[in-house]
Structure 1
Amino acid sequence: MVEVARDVVQQVPKVSGAGDMFQLLRDGRPRTRADLAAVTGQARSTVAARIDLLMAAGLIAPAGEATSTGGRPPATFAFAPSARVVLGVDLGATHARLALTDLASTVLAQRDLPLLITDGPDLVLDRVAETGAELLHEAGRTTSDLAGVGVGLPGPVEHATGKPNNPPIMPGWDNADVPEILGSRFHAPVLVDNDVNIMALGEHRAAWPGVADLLFVKVATGIGAGIIADGALRRGAQGSAGDIGHVAVPGVTDIACRCGNVGCLEAIASGQAVASRLEGAVTSADVVALVRAGDVAASQAVRQAGRDIGAVLATSVSLLNPSMIVIGGILADAGEHIVAGIREVVYQRSLPLATQHLRIVTARTGTQAGVLGASAMAVDQALSSDAVDRLVA
């Protein structure tokens, strides 16, 4: 046990307060006071006092006894994820998905509901607050148990303030104070990000936690990417990192995009763009249905969309050198057609050094990616060293 703890200390070079000590226990592995003293270099009396604080806050609990080397077996302690709950909210153009989870992002209660983002922040967030309260009641919890709320929005978000920034498909939402509106209803911290970032976070935590460099690409009505680099979500200077939907596709100059430019990837390869070129299709879901029904034209169109996406991702591979690209969003449900098109171009155009270990796969978390990512975002905030120190103070 001590040897394992020594491995952990390399990741946490400085352990000072109870919050720092708690980070060592977040992996759920039981540890003794001696283990923690060996890792932190602190006196056993200091370790014991901080264990008492964390237990009083409900963040850790006794986890049985370790193997004795002589004398009374020492007690072990581990993370108690059921201590509090968080609410994950994934808002789309025409739907909302909410999930109440514990502090390990295990879903306790969930609700999907039709909801139009164009109804504006007052109506939409009021519905979110009502549904969140219902989920708390369903799980037998109260707002006092709520450690935080994570929200994903289908548009650009200034993550530092949680306010949407000129979102193109969200009329009335520009600069709306989402954290204040929901925070006043739940009496808990509220964090907001764009939907692709929280999907990337959810897919990474739930399906690929050991992958340090991952690019998540959502292909639906629009196209966007979430960047995981060195194990962390990267948002960029203004929060617009990963906006590949408005990168120009090489050689395309005659297709206008809603952003005002021409040749944007979203205008060429999104589900909406593919649907506009097929008979019998209006939405991305229609495209997927045609492909599943064996429609040759739809299958060919989706594969070509994959090639166009691959042309942009080839540049991203050279720039970011991910070890994995995960394709999500509704168009990923069209089977291997879109992934095959992406692979075809990425492996052809990127340098062998960048692609020799690169995997390109479809998302494992499906429709759950958004709420799981929103939950993880709220949990990370609630269980940060500073937040834990404030909680036990």
Structure 2
Amino acid sequence: MMTHSNPSIKKQVYDRISYLGTVSKADLLNDFPLTSSSMTRLLEEMTHQGMIVVSGLGHSTGGRKPILFQTNPTYRFLFGLEISRIYSVLGLYDLHLNSLSLTRWKMDAEMTPNQLVDSITSTAKRFLDEHGLSPEDVLGIGIGAVGPLDSRKGVILEPELFPSPAWKHVPICAMLEERLGFPASLDNGANTALIGEHWALRSETIEHALYVHAGVNIRSAVMSGGRILRGAADTEGAVGQMIIQANGPRLRNRGNYGALEAFVSVPALEERVRTQLKIGRSSILSDIAPELVNFATLVDALTKGDPLVKEEFTETAAYLGIGLANLINALHPECVILGGPLISAHPLVFDSAVEIAKKNTYHYPEYNPVFTQGLLTDEAVATGAAVMMMQRWSGD
């Protein structure tokens, strides 16, 4: 029989209370092989430590009303960091994953690893000062970054298409640990986004989920049985190499011919619109040089209802729907979460992609996964990185 002196059982009980939100001792006894007296001692120890707090009394089933417990949100704090090609985000969170402070940086050619670490260091210290906290109050910083990575060594390897060419073999965890004085943990951003959204959606008890991020390229993560599926290689962007048109185009003369990312990505969309402008299609963008057209100008034109740009976004969304259908037919998720700049650009992207995906899903509508943009949306990667750090915390 496990006892309260086992640190792992304490963390398991803590994680269960954290996940459920509010629990009674009886709820926990259903989940753990502890005697009633052992569970009572463990809960008293955790309350005395400040890890959990009494949050009230539950409904009586005939005897005394049961005492209810919650995790203490201010027992410790967490940082979550997203590093992507377009922007990076830093958030400070309590243990209920409430965002206390948040900032973002544009990833331009000047944003080298050293520059970003400098910015993170000064901003993290400012956040702590603003909330009256010290580094000892922080469990650590979780990082969700563009791959490929060596997450075990905490190194960002050779990601493509960063505006600054300095993002090669960056020991990001060691750099931040040295400057901040608390642990850092690294995973790819698609995984942390899915971890974060799964946390946010936990009241719906989703076990099998697919996350797809559509931006500069296509990134994905898969959860089965409530756990992130990790293959033999960290290739979150490999889904973009799914061939959806044999002998089709290549993106930037790399990768597979007819790959999904050649149809569904920010660079592919920019290139298609530039081509249409060069051959004389009318648009509110006709007054600027085609090579100056970028994603920001496209989103602005789409918001203003430009027919050409709307047509190209709709086509992008349709190809995304085909790619989603292929993944859904292989993985059979209960829930499909879509994120990234292409999705958040305009509702028509999500709506069109979902419509096409459903039409190409085998056994639809008998099998009908839930499609969502999630609850965390643009903060999913950073929040999920904080969740990951909390899950890896030993509970000491």
TM-score when scaled to structure 2?
Answer: 0.83
CA distance in 1, matches of 2:115, 2:11: 38
The equivalent of 1:28 in structure 2 is 21
| 2:197 corresponds to which of 177, 198, 203 | 203
Deviates more, 1:93-102 or 1:141-150: 93-102
The equivalent of 1:174 in structure 2 is 168
How big is the shift at 1:45? 4.2
How big is the shift at 1:102? 0.7
The equivalent of 1:57 in structure 2 is 49
Which sections of structure 1, spanning at least 5 residues, go unmatched?
A: 1-13
How big is the shift at 1:84? 0.6
Identify if the C-alpha distance between structure 1 residues 225 and 283 changes in structure 2 by more than 3 Å, giving closer, same or farther: farther
Do structure 1's residue 316 and structure 2's residue 312 form an aligned pair? no
The equivalent of 2:386 in structure 1 is 375
Do structure 1's residue 339 and structure 2's residue 333 form an aligned pair? no
Identify if the C-alpha distance between structure 1 residues 362 and 61 changes in structure 2 by more than 3 Å, giving closer, same or farther: closer
The equivalent of 2:230 in structure 1 is 235
Do structure 1's residue 265 and structure 2's residue 257 form an aligned pair? no
TM-score when scaled to structure 1?
Answer: 0.83
1:120-199 correspondence to structure 2 within 5 Å: 120-170=112-162, 171-199=165-193
Tell me, yes or no, if the aligned pair for 1:94 and 1:117 is still in contact at 8 Å: no
How big is the shift at 1:106? 0.7
CA distance in 2, matches of 1:244, 1:39: 37
Identify if the C-alpha distance between structure 1 residues 241 and 271 changes in structure 2 by more than 3 Å, giving closer, same or farther: closer
Q: 1:184-226: CA deviations, max 9, x gaps?
A: 2233221112222222222332246523222222222222122
| 1:247 corresponds to which of 242, 245, 248 | 242
Tell me, yes or no, if the aligned pair for 1:269 and 1:305 is still in contact at 8 Å: yes
Tell me, yes or no, if the aligned pair for 1:163 and 1:177 is still in contact at 8 Å: yes
Q: 1:112-133: CA deviations, max 9, x gaps?
A: 2334376432222222122111
1:58-137 correspondence to structure 2 within 5 Å: 58-65=50-57, 75-116=67-108, 119-137=111-129
Question: Secondary structure in 1 aligned to 2:74?
Answer: helix
Q: 1:343-368: CA deviations, max 9, x gaps?
A: 34323333115873123343443322
Aligned AA (2:24): R
CA distance in 1, matches of 2:388, 2:109: 22
How big is the shift at 1:107? 0.8
Identify if the C-alpha distance between structure 1 residues 64 and 310 changes in structure 2 by more than 3 Å, giving closer, same or farther: closer
Identify if the C-alpha distance between structure 1 residues 225 and 40 changes in structure 2 by more than 3 Å, giving closer, same or farther: closer
Do structure 1's residue 219 and structure 2's residue 214 form an aligned pair? yes
Question: Secondary structure in 2 aligned to 1:83?
Answer: coil
Identify if the C-alpha distance between structure 1 residues 354 and 313 changes in structure 2 by more than 3 Å, giving closer, same or farther: farther
Aligned AA (1:194): N
Which sections of structure 2, spanning at least 5 residues, go unmatched?
A: 1-5, 278-284, 286-291
How big is the shift at 1:329? 1.4
Number of residue pairs the alignment of both structures matches:
371
1:351-366 correspondence to structure 2 within 5 Å: 351-352=362-363, 356-366=367-377
Identify if the C-alpha distance between structure 1 residues 343 and 195 changes in structure 2 by more than 3 Å, giving closer, same or farther: same
Tell me, yes or no, if the aligned pair for 1:339 and 1:360 is still in contact at 8 Å: no
Tell me, yes or no, if the aligned pair for 1:149 and 1:191 is still in contact at 8 Å: yes
1:33-44 correspondence to structure 2 within 5 Å: 36=28, 40-44=32-36
CA distance in 2, matches of 1:68, 1:260: 62
How big is the shift at 1:83? 0.7
Deviates more, 1:368-377 or 1:14-23: 14-23
Question: Secondary structure in 2 aligned to 1:81?
Answer: coil
Q: 1:282-323: CA deviations, max 9, x gaps?
A: 322322222111111111111111222222222211110112
CA distance in 1, matches of 2:90, 2:69: 32
Identify if the C-alpha distance between structure 1 residues 230 and 252 changes in structure 2 by more than 3 Å, giving closer, same or farther: farther
Q: CA RMSD in A?
A: 3.0
CA distance in 2, matches of 1:52, 1:310: 52
Deviates more, 1:115-124 or 1:71-80: 71-80
Question: Secondary structure in 2 aligned to 1:111?
Answer: strand
The equivalent of 2:294 in structure 1 is 283
The equivalent of 1:11 in structure 2 is none
Tell me, yes or no, if the aligned pair for 2:22 and 2:68 is still in contact at 8 Å: no
